[in-house]
């Protein structure tokens, strides 16, 4: 029996992990922009916000904290953690 790994599955796993990392990066970037009070009129800030809203549509407003910053951190942060965890778990399974 061969113990060599297929380079195709390794490449697919790497792509899956990179996509999960990019998704989490966008969400974390929006959290930082929100906390640092980035100019919402800026096109880059608006793009990051729209992308983060789309990615975290399922988790935003899941928690009802009194402070807006806590809702942003919890909602978008949860989505980032889930994307990282699931993405890297799937990548690990594909790699095997």
Whole-number pLDDT of residue 95? 87
- What is the pLDDT at residue 6? 59
Q: What is the pLDDT of residue 2?
A: 47
pTM, two decimals, is 0.86
What pLDDT shows up at residue 37? 95
Confidence of residue 17 (pLDDT cuts 50, 70, 90): very high
CB atoms within 10 A of CB 3: 4
Q: What is the pLDDT of residue 9?
A: 79
Q: Which two three-digit tokens encode residue 53?
A: 């809203």
Mean per-residue pLDDT, 73-95: 95
Q: Which residues does 91 contact at the CB level (< 8 Å), separation at least 6?
A: 13, 14, 16, 17, 20
CB atoms closer than 10 angstroms to residue 22: 14
Per-residue pLDDT tens digits for 18-75:
999 999 999 999 999 999 999 999 999 999 999 999 999 998 788 888 999 999 999 9
């Amino acid at each position: 029996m061969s113990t060599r790994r297929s380079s195709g599955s390794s490449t697919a796993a790497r792509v899956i992990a990179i996509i999960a990392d990019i998704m989490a990066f966008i969400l974390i970037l929006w959290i930082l922009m929100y906390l640092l009070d980035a100019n919402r009129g800026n096109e880059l800030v608006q793009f990051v916000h729209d992308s983060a809203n789309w990615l975290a549509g399922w988790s935003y407003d899941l928690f009802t904290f009194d402070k807006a910053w806590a809702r942003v951190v919890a909602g978008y942060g949860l989505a980032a953690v889930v994307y990282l965890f699931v993405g890297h778990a799937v990548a690990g399974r594909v790699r095997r």
